Amino acid sequence: MGSPATERPANDTAAPGGPGGVGWPRVLAGATTVLLAAAAWVNTHRLNTDGIAYLRLAGYYVDGPVRLAISGYWGPLLSWLLAPALAAGLEPLAAARVVMALTGLVFAGGCAVLLRVLGLRRQVVLAGSGLAGLAAVGWSVEFISPDLLVAGLMALALAATVRPRWAAGGGGAFLAGVVWGLAYLAKAVALPFAVVAVPLTAWWLRARRPDSAARWGRALALTAMGWLLTAGPWVGLLSAKYGRLTFSTAAKAAHAVVGPPDQERYHPFARRLHHPEPGRLTSWEDPTSLPYADWSPFASREYFLHQVRVSWRNLGTAAWLLGRLDLLHLGVLALAGLAAAGWVRRRQTRRHDADSRGKTAAAASPRHGERVAKGLPAGEKEPQAAPAMPGLAIGLVCLWTVCLVAVYLPGYLERVDLRYFYAAWPWLFAATALAAERLGVALAPRSPLLARMAWPLALISFAAPPVIQGTLALRGLPQPAAILARELAEGIRRTGRPGPLAGSGLLGGDRAGLFAAFFLGQPWYGDQPGARPADWAAVGARWVVLSARRPEVRELAADPRFRERTWQVLTGIESPERWLRVFENNEPRPAGRGP
């Protein structure tokens, strides 16, 4: 039939090679590496707010003080990978691009391993591996973040958890725990996901594999031990720093910022003029101590209803983001279709079992001697042969998707946050491949042409976004804020009066003011909508960078304490005043004397 997953020969497993042995996987790995390197080379200008935090934390490991590198808001693994590159003398953004290319390889490799372990056909695994690598090319240059890294590690951890040797309770289970620990160190969201997904995966597999409960319990215990050995020291450092058991402080902040609109609740680093902790460039490096407006959905009926609305909205956002992983949203449709088909089949099976219960009871007595000969207690069922892995995979990908979505329901989630769902890419691809297989089998007797179209359509749907994103990445993604911020930093440096900066200078969603502070190596004193000239003067920043459309611009231009510096004078660029305005404080206060 048309679907490569149909009519599987007995010897056609998801082996890494094909007719050429291990050649194709190596070709795909080599091509992915080359494309990741090429994309990194033409995108060394790109920067983002989170990336500044990771780069600054990495710098503290290299230049000190190391105590500033301990942050409960950010996972440490990305900074640990950045630190050797910085120590080797790479410019920060170049180091970031090298490490992000490495995380792209981890993502592509993790997807390939998971697709293979799920028992998909060789052609499906190779296609999925290639597309995962191509997706990583575009995603690796979009941000400096650990999202590709944690997605790849989660895929490897899930693959280790699904393998039969995990249930044996030996080294496989312990290794799975180690990989789960690395995933947590990359991004703390992997911990709540694993706490729910691993036991559910074990439950799903045990219900369909003839293993004792004790073996599965031992496997779970060994997985927990592997996690503790890997992640425990970091948890200990965080707990010692904050004076209480701490796995992460990110979830608390993510929940605080979606609170009821009865007060300002956004991240204070971007809504208040303030001084970061001494030695830090920005309080975003560890916003844990900032005055977030925490709230509880159980404080009042109104707050509870607000939490329900937030979760409902996030559910729709998560479904929309999952749909964006392929062109036609086939991944989400395949998940829903497979889940519905499984539910119907389960109901039919239960009805059939109920109808045949009497016949089974009548036949049980003559077989009593046979059961005793097999060593089975009178009331215990005979072990059944384990079902094929693709059948198990249908339930697994549904469970994993539900777990991932559930993690993000209570807190902050927006439609720009596709990176939060990179981990779901291999699951949705697997679900679509399995759905195409079943659809092809069902349609083959009546419409062979439609049956042959199922798999190509799925492949096109998953290939289109990576091809488009990868092509754009290889041409270089524009980012005016980063380019102008670097020029501004050089212009300020040439004045001989560098100093702390304030103001976001939002341009295309990026904070050019913060970026300029990063390039200068100067503290950034935050931003405050509606701030008066006296507020900007009191915080003590020498330079203020604002979007041209902000109303504060007119007040600063008219205040004698500030002097507007044109881009023509600072940088030689003639027109950025249309977007950004720059003011110099004539009498900046020394650091530490502001509010």
- State the angle between helix axes of 213-242 and 190-206 in degrees (0 to 180), rounded to the nearest 10: 170
Rg, the chain, Cα only:
28
Given 241, 258, 275, which residue is the final one in a domain? 258
Residue found under tokens 């490096």: 285
Residue found under tokens 């109808």: 355
Number of structural domains the chain divides into = 2
Given 258, 292, 307, which residue is the final one in a domain? 258
Q: Quick one: how far is CA 421 from the chain centroid?
A: 6
Exposed, middle or buried, 303 (CB in 10 Å: 0-12/13-18/19+)? middle
Given 205, 224, 258, which residue is the final one in a domain? 258
The half-sphere exposure of 530 on its side-chain side, counting CA atoms within 13 A, is 2
> Looking at the domain assignment, is residue 96 inside a domain?
yes
- With CA atoms as reference, report the closest residue to 164 among 118, 197, 195: 118
| 120 neighbors 448 (Cβ within 8 angstroms) | no
The phi and psi torsions of 321 (rounded to 5 degrees) equal: -65, -40
> Looking at the domain assignment, is residue 380 inside a domain?
no
The tens place of each residue's pLDDT in the chain, 595 residues long, gives: 444 443 344 334 444 444 434 588 899 999 999 999 999 999 999 999 999 999 999 999 999 999 999 999 999 999 999 999 999 999 999 999 999 999 999 999 999 999 999 999 999 999 999 999 999 999 999 999 999 999 999 999 999 999 988 987 778 999 999 999 999 999 999 999 999 999 999 999 887 766 667 888 899 999 999 999 999 999 999 999 999 999 999 999 999 999 999 999 999 999 999 999 999 999 999 999 999 999 999 999 999 999 999 999 999 999 999 999 999 999 999 999 998 887 777 666 666 656 665 554 444 444 444 443 344 444 444 444 444 566 789 999 999 999 999 999 999 999 999 999 999 999 999 999 999 998 888 888 888 888 899 999 999 999 999 999 999 999 999 999 999 999 999 999 999 999 999 999 999 999 999 999 999 999 999 999 999 999 999 999 999 999 999 999 999 999 999 999 987 767 776 667 788 999 999 988 765 444 4
> Looking at the domain assignment, is residue 576 inside a domain?
yes
> Looking at the domain assignment, is residue 206 inside a domain?
yes
Domain containing residue 181 = 24-258
> Looking at the domain assignment, is residue 130 inside a domain?
yes
Q: From CA 120, how far away is CA 434, in angstroms rounded?
A: 8
> Looking at the domain assignment, is residue 102 inside a domain?
yes
| 115 neighbors 158 (Cβ within 8 angstroms) | no
> Looking at the domain assignment, is residue 464 inside a domain?
no
| 44 neighbors 149 (Cβ within 8 angstroms) | no
Name every residue whose Cβ is closer than 8 Å to that of residue 69 and which is 6 or more positions away in sequence: 57, 58, 60, 61, 76, 79
> Looking at the domain assignment, is residue 189 inside a domain?
yes
What secondary structure letter does DSSP report for 284? G
User: What are the beta bridge partners of residue 584?
Assistant: 543, 563
Confidence (pTM): 0.90
| 570 neighbors 492 (Cβ within 8 angstroms) | yes
